[in-house]
Amino acid sequence: MTASRREFLKSGGALIVSFSSVAALADDLVAAQGPFGSQDQRVARQLDSWLAIAADGRVTAYTGKCELGQGIFTAQTQLVAEELSVPLARVTLIQCDTAVTPDQGTTSGSQSTPTNFNEANLAQACATARDALLRLAADRLAVPADQLTVVDGVVGVQGDASRWIGYGDLVGGRTFNLTVSATARRKPPADWRVLGTSTGRVDLPAMATGQFEFVHNVRVPGMLHGRVVRPPAVGATVVRVDEASITDRPGVVKVVVKNNFVGVVCEKPWQAIQAAEALKVTWTAGAGLPSHGDFYTHLRNQKPSRDTLLVNSGDVDAALARAATVLKATYCHPYQMHASIGSSCAVADVHGGKATIWSATQSAYPTRSGAALVLGVPVDNVRVIFTRGSGCYGINGADTVSYDAALLSQAVGKPVRVQLSRRDEMAWENYGVAFVIDQRAGIDAAGAIVAWDYEGWSPALGGRPGYDRPGNVITGQLAGFETAPFAPRSPAPEPAGAFNNNSNAAPSYVTGCVGGRCAGAGVIRNERVLSHIVRSPFFTGPLRSPSRLQNTFAHESFLDEIAAHVNADPLAYRLRHLSDPRLKHVVEEAAKAARWGARPSPKAGAPRTGPVRGRGLACVAYEGDNGYVAMVAEVEVDQATGRVRATRFFVAQDCGPISNPDGMRNQIEGGALQGLSRCLGEAVTWDDRKVTSIDWRTFHSLPLGFDVPVIESVLINRTGVEATGAGETAITIVAGAVGNAIFDATGARLREVPFTPERVKAALDARA
């Protein structure tokens, strides 16, 4: 940030059309479209908002989808290089800076690839630019465009090597002045040379050599250091702050109080830590918390609730009454946290009514709008610069610490850096939601499922702040902003419109028929899916595969239980109840890779003592149509201790055309391991006042040195369909596959996550 925008433009040799710029930079813009007029029209339609070509032919591209560690920065760079036929090294990608990049909302939900790699946004901008460049070259070279070829950013005439012109000569230093064309044709995958290859991560060399700047490393001249003082109990509010209690401490610049937000600003980080600990704050007692021991009962019985029928054939009760057998089971899933290895950090420089915030938020533009509300300044006076932090699929402390830094900086009129303590992050982040799920299924005399009935309860409070809800995270709430309102609704209205399985609340085995249209992946026509949302005592929000993971654990476990009851092979029984060919295909491919042997579970003749091995299967059409994945998990269970060790995962995945095979493999492996951690150990705990899982001794993610399972990935490269997400597919099915493998090995069914040794041992002891 030492170079001005004018200097950047001069050195790049390109003109850049920008929008929603910081007022301080306005004079440096060559041309500007101004901010988007409405929040429904945030993504730029002008080609120059996405691409610029310099005089030397270098391409600068702009994206609103950020690199969080998932490899999307590299894949988007490949996309630009491929569509424009330029070398990868000649592409510069600028991401998630509200001064220069498009507003693409939040990077989340496995939506970056569907958003930017199909027929819209970045991909379509590149296709539009390629067509425009070919038309310009056709005019300059006086030949039809279909007689031109492009190699390394140079347009040449077929059969005449002496006639060519480079991109820089065609448009370098000038704008395209075009709208993105909806009819510009993407390159077909058969012609890919850069996309579809395992290009190495372009950010890794700088990371491996210590040159990469994470948000924790950002330093601004005159920067001070802040620390927040969070309440000692959930719901506690400020009674009194004794600022005099730390006035004699070295380095203290200011105590900041805004409603129930309390923080200190000091000259050095250690001074801020000590001052925050020593500051005397009197708080109210707090709201009190429901008992941790019987929370699932509390969750099931809590009122009021917001009720939704996702699908309802209207005949489930009658079908269950006619069934030869009705099976029932309840599955429970705890709150879990992101628990990023590095605690969240942000730097803010707020003075003169303007603000610049360096943040690891996944939501640069929404954070910009939220910060403007928190600071009470016009949104055009705020710039958010995405700067990589600790990896996160969801909403860790990155948004709330951005508000922390902004409030403290505004109070002192100087740049302030805030890094949350481990306790402050883990006790106050937005947790992944808990669930309790009741399942019922009717089975006919031939062993087929004829009805499936789902009822689930989950708590919610806050979530992503979005553009106008800073109170959805702890800092915003403490500063006086309301969380998103809870709107009870009971009874649930009948489903309206098309079936939408975005939450995966409906199992893959139902038809999903709503309004005469069926969009499910299965064959079961008697179907009912009823969900209840209740108010949570803790902040909640998306955590990798939010709700999808919890629901799929319940679905895949229950399907396995039904198969065992009718003495059927779990693989064959799944295929019997699936109709979607892509989902069936990944199931078959995972089983093939694992050399699946057809037999019922549990394994016959397994000993009741000593270590035993088993295998389990799970699958999902993620969000109904955003990726298809199946897993066979092999585990070893020590029956003396209840310890579970995953030895091997076989994962088959279909996400459409593959942009980077190694990148997809990384996502499968990372998702599988995070899923293993979540199903074996992770759970938020609390007492009657506060969260107690506030460090690595009390929140049990996989430890360093654990036995890493072998992960064999089967990548299904399906062209001719839209590209879908890969970031949240594999993690969704791990708990189901591992739980089914434990059952196969031991005959003990685990219906509550996590599968701790104590819980496994209790299930083993309770076997018939």
Q: What is the pLDDT of residues 209-228, one digit of tens each?
A: 999 999 999 999 999 999 99
> Residue 134, SS3?
helix
- Asked which of 23-32, 99-108, 467-476, 715-724 is least confident by mean pLDDT, the reply is 23-32
- In 659-748, the DSSP E strands lie at 710-716
Domain boundary (399, 428, 457) is at 428
Residues 488 and 636 in one domain: yes
Q: Return the pLDDT at 759.
A: 98
> Does 332 fall in a domain?
no
Per-residue pLDDT at 678 = 98
Residue 225 CA to residue 247 CA, distance in Å, equals: 16
Q: Are strands 238-242 and 154-157 parallel, antiparallel or unpaired?
A: unpaired
The answer to whether residues 415 and 545 belong to one domain is no
Query: What is the reported pLDDT for 379?
Result: 97
Closest CA to 671 of 700, 643, 631: 631
Which residues lie across from 94 on neighbouring strands? 62
Distance from the first to the final alpha carbon of the chain: 67
Q: Does the structure show a pLDDT above 50 at 208? A: yes
The pLDDT of residue 36 is 29
Sign of the dihedral through C-alpha 455, 458, 462, 467: negative
503-549 pLDDT, tens digit per residue, is 999 999 999 999 889 999 999 999 999 999 999 999 999 999 999 99
Q: Of 182, 175, 187, 166, which is closest to residue 49 (Cα–Cα)?
A: 175
Are β-strands 224-228 and 416-419 bridged in parallel, bridged antiparallel, or unpaired? parallel
Token digits of residue 507: 């199992």
Output the CA torsion 420→424→426→432 (10° steps): -90
What percent of the chain has a predicted confidence (pLDDT) above 70?
94
pLDDT, one tens digit per residue, over 596-620 is 999 999 999 999 999 999 999 999 9
Beta strands 513-514; 517-518: pairing state: antiparallel
Q: Considering only CA atoms, which of 305, 326, 236 is closest in space to residue 691?
A: 236
In a domain, 566, yes or no: yes
- DSSP assignment of 567-634 equals T--HHHHHHHTB--HHHHHHHHHHHHHTTPPP--SSPTT--SSSEEEEEEEEEEEGGGTS-EEEEEEE
Find the mean pLDDT for residues 483-489: 96
Read off the tokens for 458: 């989950």
**Stretch 149-174: mean pLDDT:** 94
Phi, psi of 536 (to 5 degrees): -90, 145
pLDDT in tens, 168-198: 999 988 999 999 999 999 999 999 999 999 9
Q: Are 511 and 468 in contact (CB under 8 A)?
A: no
Helices (H), 302-418: 316-322, 364-375, 398-412
Q: Tell me if residue 493 falls in helix, strand or coil.
A: coil
pTM of the complete model: 0.94
Phi-psi region of 254 (alpha: psi -120 to 50; beta: other; left: phi over 0): beta
Between β-strands 59-63 and 91-95, what pairing exists: parallel, antiparallel or unpaired?
Answer: parallel
Q: Compute the chain's Rg from CA coordinates.
A: 28
Report DSSP letters for 424-471, one per residue: HHHHHS-BBPPEEEEEEEEE-TTS-EEEEEEEEEEEE-----TTT-GG
Q: What is the pLDDT of residue 173?
A: 81
Residue 554 shares a structural domain with residue 513: yes
- The three-class DSSP label of residue 146 is helix
Say which range, 41-50, 383-392, 569-578, 734-743, has the weakest mean pLDDT.
41-50
Q: What is the mean pLDDT of the chain?
A: 93
In a domain, 663, yes or no: yes
CA 157 to CA 168: how far, in whole Å? Answer: 17
pLDDT digits (tens, 9 = 90+) for 627-648: 999 999 999 999 999 999 999 9
- Token look-up 């982040």 returns 429
Same domain, 369 and 454: no
Overall average pLDDT of the 95-107 stretch: 96
538 residue type, one letter: F
Rounded distance, CA 271 to CA 269, Å?
5
677 in helix, strand or coil?
Answer: helix
Cβ atoms of 228 and 405 closer than 8 Å: no
pLDDT at position 26 = 24
Is the model's pLDDT at 299 over the cut of 80? yes
Tokens at 404, concatenated? 């922390």
Residue 423 falls inside a structural domain: yes
Conformation bin of residue 152: beta by default, left when phi > 0, alpha when psi is -120 to 50 = left
Neighbouring residues of 237: CB distance < 8 A, sequence distance ≥ 6 = 231, 260, 283, 284
Give the DSSP letter string of 96-128.
Answer: SBTTTS-----S-TT-HHHHHSSSSHHHHHHHH
174 within domain boundaries: yes
Q: Phi/psi at 757 (nearest 5 deg)?
A: -55, -40
Distance, in Å, from the CA atom of 394 to the CA atom of 287, rounded to the nearest integer, reads 27
Q: Report how far residue 574's alpha carbon sits from residue 619's, in angstroms, rounded to the nearest whole number.
A: 9
- Amino acid in position 149: T
Count of structural domains, the chain: 3
pLDDT of residue 42: 53
Last residue of a domain, one of 374, 404, 428: 428
CB of 636 closer than 8 Å to CB of 648? no
485 in the same domain as 343: no
- Give the rounded percent of residues in the chain with a pLDDT score beyond 90: 93
Residue 502 has pLDDT above 60, yes or no: yes
Are 411 and 441 contained in the same domain?
Answer: no
Contact 228, 404 (CB under 8 A): yes
360 and 232 within one domain: yes
- Res 82 pLDDT > 60: yes
CB–CB of 631/650 below 8 Å?
yes
Distances (CA, A) of 693 to 339, 431, 705: 10, 12, 21
pLDDT band for position 312 (cuts 50, 70, 90): very high
**Lookup result for tokens 């996590």:** 754
In degrees and rounded to multiples of 5, residue 151 shows phi and psi of -135, 125
Look at residue 399 in the predicted model and tell me its pLDDT: 98
Would you give the distance in Å from CA 182 to the centre of its chain?
28
Verify that 533 and 469 share a domain, yes or no.
yes
> Which domain does 246 fall in, by range?
221-285+338-428
Residues 6+ apart with CB under 8 A from 358: 215, 218, 346, 347, 348, 385, 387
Number of residues that make up the chain = 768
Do 164 and 245 reside in the same domain of the chain? no
* Inside any domain, residue 293: no
Answer left, alpha or beta for residue 354, where phi above 0 means left and psi between -120 and 50 means alpha: beta
Q: At 83, is the secondary structure helix, strand, or coil?
A: helix
User: Is residue 443 predicted with pLDDT exceeding 80?
Assistant: yes
**Least confident segment among 22-36, 447-461, 727-741:** 22-36
Q: Mark whether 483 and 420 lie in a shared domain.
A: no
Is residue 24's pLDDT more than 90?
Answer: no
Domain boundary at 167, 199, 231, which?
A: 199
Beta strand 628-638 with 611-621 is antiparallel
Within-domain flag for 292: no
Residues 353 and 471 in one domain: no
Number of neighbouring beta carbons within 10 Å of residue 704: 5
- The answer to whether residue 355 scores a pLDDT higher than 60 is yes
Q: Does residue 428 register a pLDDT over 70?
A: yes
* Torsion (CA) 475, 478, 479, 483 in degrees, nearest 10: 80
Residue 207 resides in a domain: no
Is residue 223 exposed (0-12), middle (13-18) or buried (19+ Cβ within 10 Å)?
A: middle
* pLDDT reading at 237 higher than 70: yes
pLDDT digit string (tens) for 251-280?
A: 999 999 999 999 999 999 999 999 999 999
Q: In this structure, are 441 and 421 located in the same domain?
A: no
Q: Where residue 185 sits, what CATH number does that domain have? A: 3.30.365.10
Tokens representing residue 257 in the block: 């109080």
